[in-house]
Amino acid sequence: MISVKKAQSIINDNIRPLGSESILLKNVGNRINGQNITAPFSVPLFNNSAMDGFAVRAVDTEGAKKYSPITFMMVGTSSAGTPSNITLQPGECVQCMTGGKIPEGADSIVIVENSSGFSDSKTVEIYKEANIGDHIRRQGEEIQEGDVIISMGTCITPSEIGILATFGYEKVSVMIKPKVAIFVTGNELVEPGNKIKSGQIYNSNLYMLSELAEKSGVEIVMSEVIKDDKDSLRKLLSNALQICDIIISSGGVSMGRFDYVREIYNELGVQEHFWKVAQKPGKPLFFGTMKSSLIFGLPGNPISSLICYVEYIHSTIHGFQKKKKDSKYRAILTENFAVENKKHRYLFGQSWIDPSSGKLFCSPTSKLGSHMLTASIESNCILESPPGKQGLKAGDKITINLLNWRNF
Ligand code: AMP
Ligand code: MG
């Protein structure tokens, strides 16, 4: 039996990123950026107006006041998309809308509220002095050409999509999604929608693991329910090993008489890196490799499967895509946490930021069994403690792993 730390480092050593592919901007949501993306031009691209108003030479406005306005000659209009090609002479102004290019010779904008207003007349009264640069968005003030705008490994969210469009990227290089097979095993499993007989249970893990895999951003290429039967296991697993980067099985990997998963993996030539980790839940976790495929055998108890997925597989998938790691946090316990003597203890729980102190607090679920999937309901994190002699008390700090799809 190995430690959690050792198990994580063995898995990390076997992660081989898959490279990138170019896809259309409209499809890049939630994908992982595959390379550092630089600005092909400076932004703003040209000096333009931040407000609706008049482009002037600031010097010409000296002394302008509401009750002693200065009259300017109105010599043109510049609006967003329709610049004026006029070069401003002393005493002249151009009506300039938000986003409109600043005409040559102008060095500031007087907002329309400080004037007699837009019109078709040849003159306008300006009521306020301007300073050089007023209400002008300067060329390059936001980003310089060649600056990195989105770094490799960033998850592409609405802001990144907007930024990519701002810089005219029609296609984006994103990390290839790992191909994943998910198997759940068990003679007792019945699909939701069917009648359940004595001794049977509904199959929850396939649905839960598939949704988790979607959240991690993979391509699910196989998802199957298998009986505890060597032949069907052999057939499906050998098929998956040909085409998948990651194979995830649930159940059949413990000490039971009908737990054949490990045996079949070994028989098919999977190199076993570990089986059994000093943790609770999830002790029988299996990890192996075959060529470049990673194989995870999760124990079938739903909470064990769920915690092993979040703690080991979610981060592996991020590793495949070189995604920047999500960090774990330290939070203050509001209840005692029973630490295990020899095992790393994981429990679902809730975490929240106390509005008055701004501190991060957490509390574990009171449902301790690994068969109790409802322990995870309304949880937003997994609390974890390494093995130890003493339990943690309310007020002590503990590490939490915030579930990616939940919030504080
Ligand atoms: P196993 O790891 O196969 O020994 O299974 C451990 C426990 O998890 C047993 O009580 C199983 O019935 C249960 N279990 C296994 N697979 C699933 C599944 N897909 N959905 C719900 N419970 C399961
Ligand atoms: Mg089983």
Distance from the CA of 199 to the center of ligand 1, in angstroms?
A: 12
Nearest CA to ligand 1 atom 3: 251
What pLDDT does residue 18 have?
Answer: 92
For residue range 235-272, list pLDDT tens digits in order.
999 999 999 999 999 999 999 999 999 999 999 999 99
Give the mean model confidence (pLDDT) for residues 331-338.
Answer: 98
What pLDDT does residue 266 have?
Answer: 96
pLDDT band of residue 408 (cuts 50, 70, 90) is: confident
What pLDDT does residue 29 have?
Answer: 96
**Does residue 405 have a pLDDT over 90?**
no
What pLDDT does residue 323 have?
Answer: 85
**Does residue 406 have a pLDDT over 90?**
no
What pLDDT does residue 407 have?
Answer: 81
For residue range 130-187, list pLDDT tens digits in order.
999 999 999 999 999 999 999 999 999 999 999 999 999 999 999 999 999 999 999 9
Nearest CA to ligand 1 atom 10: 301
From the CA of 254, the nearest ligand is 1
Give the mean model confidence (pLDDT) for residues 373-381.
Answer: 94
pLDDT band of residue 22 (cuts 50, 70, 90) is: very high
Give the mean model confidence (pLDDT) for residues 82-105.
Answer: 98
Q: How far is CA 142 from the centre of its chain?
A: 25
Q: Which residues line ligand 1 (CB under 6 A)?
A: 184, 186, 188-189, 201, 203-206, 250-252, 254, 256, 259, 299-302, 371
293, burial (CB in 10 Å: exposed 0-12, middle 13-18, buried 19+): buried
**Does residue 203 have a pLDDT over 80?**
yes
Token pair 């005493």 is at which residue?
A: 91
Percent of residues, the chain, with pLDDT higher than 90: 96
CB 112 within 8 A of CB 49: no
Question: Which residues are close to ligand 2, an ion, with C-beta < 5 A?
Answer: 186, 251-252, 300
Ligand 1 pocket: which of 185, 190, 205, 373 to mutate (most atoms <8 Å of CB)?
205
pLDDT band of residue 327 (cuts 50, 70, 90) is: confident
Beta-strand (E) ranges in 186-317? 189-190, 201-202, 219-226, 246-250, 271-275, 279-280, 286-290, 293-298
CA distance 106 to 102: 7
Ligand 1 pocket: which of 201, 233, 309 to mutate (most atoms <8 Å of CB)?
201
CB 160 within 8 A of CB 144: no
Q: How far is CA 278 from CA 9, 143, 283, 316, 343, in A?
A: 14, 50, 6, 19, 5
Ligand 1 pocket: which of 197, 202, 250, 283 to mutate (most atoms <8 Å of CB)?
250
Closest to 291 in 3D by CA, of 2, 14, 11, 5: 14
**If you average pLDDT over every residue of the chain, what do you get?**
96
Higher pLDDT, 70 or 326: 70
pLDDT band of residue 50 (cuts 50, 70, 90) is: very high
From the CA of 297, the nearest ligand is 1
Distance from the CA of 186 to the center of ligand 2, in angstroms?
A: 4
**Does residue 326 have a pLDDT over 90?**
no
